[in-house]
């Protein structure tokens, strides 16, 4: 059973562009690499041929996974988001209660996560920990370095 994933229009476009790149450009390159390696002689001792076949298999696996993700993808309409609690596409300001630092995150689908831009996956430990919380709520989250306690200061967007 496949699970539905929610994306912004921008995130879904990136996935479609990647799929088109793999199908239209990378797939023909992989086929050509196999043909070139095949032309070099005995296939039983041809490491180049084996490598080209393995590369093609990995490419086809990636294409298959992207097609599955896209078939179960849904676009989130940002105007429909409830700002009273943390949901996907919410921008959340949180305070780490152990060191009083504040951070702002936007919760996004896993493929759109980019920590440098403040976008974290709803499937990350912090994302899971704050999902569904309201302003003023506290969340204790298990992270690789132990447990942290976060307080939801503000929910926007």
- Which of 75, 107, 130 lies at the terminal end of a domain, its last residue? 75
- For residues 67 and 120, membership in a common domain is answered with no
Distance, CA of 126 to CA of 86 (rounded, Å) = 12
pTM passes above 0.85: no
* pLDDT (tens digit per residue) in 27-58: 999 999 888 888 877 767 778 888 888 999 99
- For residues 15 and 44, membership in a common domain is answered with yes
Query: Which parts of 22-111 fold into alpha helices (H)?
Result: 27-38, 47-71
Residue 98 structural domain? 80-156
* pLDDT (tens digit per residue) in 82-115: 678 888 888 999 999 989 999 999 998 888 888 8
- Which of 75, 91, 106 lies at the terminal end of a domain, its last residue? 75
Question: What band does 1 get if pLDDT is binned at 50, 70 and 90?
Answer: very low
User: How crowded is residue 29: how many other Cβ atoms within 10 Å of its Cβ?
Assistant: 13
- For residues 54 and 89, membership in a common domain is answered with no
- For residues 84 and 130, membership in a common domain is answered with yes
């Amino acid at each position: 059973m496949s699970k539905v994933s929610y994306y912004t229009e921008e995130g879904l476009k990136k996935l479609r562009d990647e799929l088109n790149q793999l199908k239209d450009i990378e797939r023909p390159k992989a086929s050509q690499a196999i043909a070139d390696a095949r032309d070099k002689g005995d296939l039983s001792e041809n490491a180049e041929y084996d490598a080209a076949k393995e590369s093609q298999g990995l490419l086809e696996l990636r294409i298959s996974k992207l097609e599955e993700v896209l078939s179960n993808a849904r676009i989130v309409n940002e105007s429909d988001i409830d700002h009273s609690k943390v949901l996907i596409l919410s921008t959340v300001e949180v305070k780490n209660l152990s060191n009083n630092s504040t951070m702002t995150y936007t919760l996004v689908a896993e493929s759109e996560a980019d920590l440098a831009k403040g976008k974290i996956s709803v499937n990350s430990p912090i994302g899971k920990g704050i999902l569904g919380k309201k302003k003023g709520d506290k969340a204790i989250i298990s992270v690789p370095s132990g447990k942290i306690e976060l307080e939801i200061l503000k929910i926007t967007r």
